[in-house]
Every structure is written in structure tokens, then in C-alpha cells.
Amino acid sequence: MTHPRRSSAPARGLAVAATLAPALLLTACAGGSAASNETTQDGAPKSGGALTVATNGQEPACLNPLIDATAGVITSRPYSDSLFWQTEDGTFEPWLATGYEVSDDGTVYTLHIRDGVTFTDGTPLDAGAVKMNFDYIVDPATKSQLSAAYFKPYQESVVLDEDTLEVHLKQPYNSFINILAQSYFALLSPKQLTEAPETTCDAPIGSGPFVVDKWNKGQSIQYVRNESYSWGPPGTHEGAAYVDGLHLLFTGEDSVRYNALQSGEVDAVDFVPPENVTEFEQSDNFGFIRAIRPGTPYALHINTSRAPFDDKRVRQALLHTINREEIVPAASFGQWKPSNFLTPSTPDYAEDLDVELTYDPDRAAELLDEAGWTGRDSEGYRTKDGERLTAALPLDGTNAARKRLTELAQAQAKEAGIEIKIELLPWQQLSERQWTGDYDLLGGLWSSNTADMLWLRWSSANISTPEVLGQNVSQFANAEFDALVEQARESTDPAERTELYRDAQALLVEEAPSVPLYGDPRTAAFPNDVKGVIFDYAYLQPYWFDVWLDR
């Protein structure tokens, strides 16, 4: 599926462009989907109306993506923009930047900032505003859950003039432009950051096509159109958004989202339930888009810092116990495919690792015997010194397919004598358990447009401390792995970087800090009179700016 692109002059200094694997493609499906993103024969897109979207129930505690790392990016993209825009083919084009240069040693990036952009409080976007955002991210007082981890190579920024910012890094970082395209690095008003930073969670101020109007916590967010907007990303239309407003509903139950779309109560569904995908693909009445999220797959992350999984043999046994080829399609009505520690759509994904994630119950039994779990209790669970081999797994139960998948894994683990206790919790309570490390297993994925996710997810540098919230929920610490991913993120040689990431992926298979399950498809469905739905590829999600209603 193609979309009209706005012509523009080549970006100044934009010499570096990363390309995603071909698997990350926007899928034009049968029936009305191809027509749904085109203008009608008799006219241009229409302005007016409000767009109501039902997304899943992962409501963030804070709408500021520089702080909140859960669903914050879904709620922040409508009101905020980024310096760069990632296209469907994986290249990066200027957005709020006009281009950049990078020093030969990879430690200094000179960013050229677009003129004429203003935040919705009237503050102009300039090099000083970008510097303030960067400094805000790394300030410990911000307590950034993810952006600060990505930004660890950052040292300082120097404003050369209103339109030019020189960014100094402590070390080379080959994913720097990649992350600046993500909505985790959306820019907020420097006036708000200076005068009222405490308001950025409930009423953040960006430069985007919409403005946060009202947050009905636990239910929805209402956005209204930014009438002054005229700097959409490459490939989108000129001027303000077509729709008057955007209404984002947090709808955790799959069946409720599906029924709301079918009945016309909502105009689009983000995260289509897997059991309904084929129906929408084949429908003449609905459009449908899908792409596999790059980054790390949905996995059961193993807390390696405490018993029983501080023993590698027990981790390996759990990995060999789970038949991913069986339970992944069973839980998803055939819509999901098993994945390694990176999804195939991720740059530097290694298809052949010389080691495999295998279902091998006999080997699992040998490993548990070696680890001393040789007894059995009355329910068939393995024991050692009178203690049952058990693991607590807190889970957000709003995603029915993931809940099914977890229950299937639980049943297979029981066959091996491993008890998995599933605890269904509200999303925000689950986040609290994550940050305190109160779990043995934890389900989750992280979408990212760079293999640097390996560093973010499993480097010991990203284990949470009382001062810093880290994304290494496995609490995995391995010096060899740390060295591989650190060298990879600093490398200026693409071939060397790919090989280092390959070795890192192979090491994860051996060390088993997680049980990777499937590459997550991002899907959206909408009736044929909803036009212009596209993806934001930097953090894969539907982008609503270009949408118009043919009614």
C-alpha cells in the first residue's frame, strides 16, 4: 500500500539511513482495506467530525512519554512530534529537524532544527528547546522509565544558534537517530518543563496535531485539533488535522472492542483481537493494517536474581519445557508465529544462530534432576528439601490471547513438574510489581526500531536500582553479554555490529534469561469511510493525523 508523499528538498547532512528488514511491511488486505486509505473519486479529503478509537486497556499512569514507559507513547503521539520520521522502508527523514551531521568518531551529532514550529502554549521550538528536553530526560529527578536508559551515552548539548544544536555523546552510539524518531523522544514545551514540570503527566504540552483536552482516568482521553499545526511528518498532508478531535478509549476486553467497531460505536480499533483478524482481512466493509513489531518479542522474562531461577539449569529446563510451536498458534488462532530474542522485523536480527530454542522435555527433566529438584509432591510438582518448585507470574489479564498463551505455558510447565502461579492484576499494579522486582516470571515485550533493544532488555546496566528504573526485568547479569552489546552499540562498522548482535542473540539462547514466545503483530481495523490510516514505524502504532471521515 502506498501513500502520497510531500515533495521536499534533500535534508542537510542527512547522510545516514538505517533500513529495517523487509518483514516490517504495511499489509494491504482484501476487500475494502486498500480503498480505505485513498481519497474518493470526486474530491479531496474532508475536514470535520471526531475520530473515536478503542485501544487496549494499557492506560499509562502518566501521559508524558519521557517519564512513562508503558503505554505512554500511544497516548503521546497525538499531541507531540519527534525530530525525525521513520518511513515504511526503514529510512529516516527530517521532521522537526531539517537534517544532521555526525563526526567521524560518532560522538558528536549536529542537529539542524526546523524553523516556524511552536508548541501549543505558543513557545517556539528552537535548539534551546531541544537541549532542555534532552537535559530533562537525563535528570535523575525526572525518573524516566525508558528514555533515560536509551540516552545513557548522552553527555551534553551545546546551542550553536537558534537552529543548530551540537550533541556530545560519551561514546559512539549508532542508534542515536533511530531513537530520536521514536515517540519516547517526543518534544515537550520548555516553558512547561521549566515552570510546571509536575503538570506534564496529566496535561502535557507538545507541538503535535492535537491537544490534550480531558483525561477521564480509567476510561479515555479526549484530544482537540491544533488549529495552528502545519508541520506534519514526510508523506502526510499540509496543515492541521482533518478531524476536529480524537477520542481514545481504553477498552481492555477484546470482545468489547470488536463489538463496538461492528456496531459503529467507535471508528477504529487498535489491537484487533487475533480471533477477528481473518474476518477483517476478508471484509469488504472494513480496512485493516498489520505489521510485526520490531524489537523484542512477547516473552516470559525470568527473574534470575532469586531462587529458583538463579540456577541456569532451572531456566534452561523451563525453556525446554515450553512447546512454542504448539502453544503460540493455539492461543492466537494461528495469527502469531514463534520468535527468537529479536523479532524478524528488527534490524540486525540473526536468522541462523547455530543454537536453537528447542522443545525437549527429556532434556528439561535431566536439567531439573541435576539441579536437585528430584522429588515429587502429591500434585506431581518437583520438590527439593521439601520445597515445591514454584514461580509467581503476575499478569495483566486484559489481553485474552496472551492470557490463553500463559495458561498453555502453565499447563506444559506442570507436566515437567514446575508450578506457575498466575496472578491477574490491574495494569498499574502490575507495573508496581515490575519496578519492585516482586515476581519470578513476568510477561512482556518491547517494540523498538533498533537491535539495541538487546542492550536495553538484558544488559546489567539496565537492572533497576532505587535511583533508576531499568528495563532488564530478568535482572540478568552476564559480563560476556554486556561486552557484546556494548561493542555493538558503539560500532561504526555495520557488518561488525551485525555479527556482534548475532553473538549476543546466541548467548541469550544458552543463558535463557527469558522464554521468547512470539513476534507481536500491531493491527488496526476501521470501516471504509475512515480514510488515511497509516503506521508510525519508529514505534509501531497507528498514526491518526492523516485520517479523515468520508461521511
In tens digits, what is the pLDDT along the chain, a chain of 551 residues?
A: 333 323 233 333 333 333 333 333 333 333 333 333 444 455 689 999 999 999 988 899 999 999 998 767 899 999 999 999 999 999 999 999 999 999 999 999 999 999 999 999 999 999 999 999 999 999 999 989 889 999 999 999 999 999 999 999 999 999 999 999 999 999 999 999 999 999 999 999 999 999 999 999 999 999 999 999 999 999 999 999 999 999 999 998 999 999 999 999 999 999 999 999 999 999 999 999 999 999 999 999 999 999 999 999 999 999 999 999 999 999 999 999 999 999 999 999 999 898 889 999 999 999 999 999 999 999 999 999 999 999 999 998 888 999 999 999 999 999 999 999 999 998 778 888 988 899 999 999 989 999 999 999 999 999 988 777 788 999 999 999 999 999 999 999 999 999 999 999 999 999 999 999 999 999 999 999 999 999 999 999 999 999 999 99
Distances in whole angstroms, Cα of residue 76 to Cα of each of 200, 354, 367 = 11, 41, 46
What pLDDT score was predicted for residue 14?
A: 33
- Residue 547 near residue 329, CB atoms below 8 Å: no
Q: Based on the domain organization, do 152 and 261 belong to the same domain?
A: no
Please answer whether residues 445 and 339 qualify as being in contact, where contact means their C-beta atoms are separated by less than 8 angstroms.
no
Identify the bridge partners of residue 329 per DSSP, sorted by sequence position.
none
Same domain membership, residue 310 and residue 242: no
User: 257, 229, 264, 263: which is closest to 244 by C-alpha?
Assistant: 229
Q: Quick one: pLDDT at residue 334?
A: 96
Q: What is the pLDDT of residue 408?
A: 98
User: Has residue 236 been placed in a domain?
Assistant: yes
Q: Which runs of consecutive H residues, i.e. helices, occur in 39-175?
A: 72-76, 127-138, 147-150
Distance of CA 532 to the CA centre of its chain: 22
Q: Print burial letters for 115-141: b (CB count within 10 Å at least 16), e (below 16).
A: eebbbbeebebbbbbbbbbbebbeeee
**Which pLDDT belongs to residue 494?**
94
Q: What's the CATH code of the domain at 476?
A: 3.10.105.10
Same domain, residue pair 357 and 421: yes
Q: With contact defined as beta carbons under 8 Å apart, do 340 and 279 qualify? A: no
Cβ neighbours of 365 (radius 10 Å): 17
Q: Which residues pair with 521 in a beta bridge?
A: 292
- CATH number of the domain where residue 2 is located: 3.40.190.10
Question: Can you tell me whether residue 113 is helix, strand or coil?
Answer: strand
What is the predicted pLDDT for the residue at 435? 83
> What cell does 149 get?
536508559
CA distances from 121 to 189, 212, 231 (A): 8, 12, 16
Is residue 34 a part of any domain in this protein?
A: yes
Query: Does 65 map to a domain?
Result: no
Indicate if 445 and 551 belong to the same structural domain: no
Query: Is 64 inside a domain boundary?
Result: no
Q: Could you tell me which residues come within 8 angstroms of residue 481 by beta carbon, excluding any fewer than 6 positions away? A: 458, 459, 504, 507, 508, 511
What contacts 451, CB < 8 A, 6 or more positions away?
342, 346, 347, 348, 349, 488, 497, 501
Domain total in the chain: 3
User: Do residues 341 and 473 both lie within one domain?
Assistant: yes
Residue 22 sits in the same domain as residue 164: no
Same domain as 39, residue 3: yes
Last residue of a domain, one of 139, 167, 197: 197
Instruction: Verify that 89 and 44 share a domain, yes or no.
Output: no
Q: What single-letter amino acid sits at 87?
A: T
307 in a structural domain? yes
- Classify burial at 42, counting beta carbons within 10 Å of its beta carbon; exposed 0-12, middle 13-18, buried 19 or more: exposed
Together in a domain, 399 and 488: yes
Output the domain CATH number for residue 186.
Answer: 3.90.76.10
Q: Give me the pLDDT at residue 465, please.
A: 83
pTM of the full predicted structure? Answer: 0.87
pLDDT of residue 281: 95
Q: Confirm whether 70 is domain-assigned.
A: no
The boundaries of the domain holding residue 132 are: 81-197
Asked if residue 68 is part of any domain, the answer here is no
Q: Are residues 238 and 278 in the same domain?
A: yes
Q: Are residues 311 and 386 in the same domain?
A: yes
* 323 plus 186 within the same structural domain: no
Looking at 133, 162, 197, which one is the last position of a domain? Answer: 197
533 in any annotated domain? yes
